[in-house]
Amino acid sequence: MPTARALRLCPGAMVVPVPRQVCGVKSREIHAVLTRFTPVVQGASIDEWYLDLTGTEALYRHEPLRETAHRIRSAVHEATGLTVSIGGATTRLLAKLAVERAKPKPGSGADGVRVVPPGDEAAFMATVALGDLSGVGPRFRERLAAAGLTRVPDVLATPEDRLRRALGDNAAEWLVRRCKGIDESEVRERESARSISHEETFGRDLTSDDDLGRELVDLVRRVAHHLRGDGLMARTVSVKLRDHDFRTRGASRTLPSGVIADRVILATAHTLLDKLRRARRGPVRLLGVALTGLEEADAEAQLSLFDDPGEATLESEKDRRLARAVDAVRKRYGTEAVVPGRVAERPAPGVRRHRPG
Does the annotation mark 48 as catalytic?
yes
Q: Is the dihedral of CA 345, 348, 352, 356 positive or negative?
A: negative
* Tens digits of residue pLDDT in 188-219: 765 444 789 999 988 889 999 999 999 999 99
How much is the pTM? 0.57
**What's the confidence (pLDDT) of residue 114?**
97
Q: How many helices (H) and strands (E) does the chain have?
A: 13, 9
CA distances from 30 to 41, 75, 86, 309, 329 (A): 11, 9, 13, 41, 29
Distance, in Å, from the CA atom of 209 to the CA atom of 214, rounded to the nearest integer, reads 9
Instruction: Give the residue from 247, 319, 243, 331 showing the smallest Cα distance to 287.
Output: 243
Predicted confidence (pLDDT) at residue 109 exceeds the cutoff of 80: yes
Evaluate if residue 89 carries a pLDDT over 60: yes
Kindly report each contact of residues 104-109 with a partner whose C-beta sits within 8 Å and lies 24 or more positions away, as own/partner: none
Q: What is the pLDDT of residues 23-70, one digit of tens each?
A: 878 988 999 999 999 988 988 878 899 999 988 888 888 999 999 999
Catalytic-role residue among 29, 48, 100, 215: 48
Between the alpha carbon of residue 117 and those of residues 51, 91, 185, the distances in Å are 16, 11, 19
Q: Which domains does the chain have, with CATH numbers?
A: 19-117 (3.30.70.270), 126-179 (1.10.150.20), 194-344 (3.30.1490.100)
Please indicate whether residue 63 or residue 22 has the higher confidence score (pLDDT).
63
pLDDT at 356 over 50: no
Range 290-316 average pLDDT: 59
Residue 310 — very low, low, confident or very high, per pLDDT cuts 50/70/90? very low
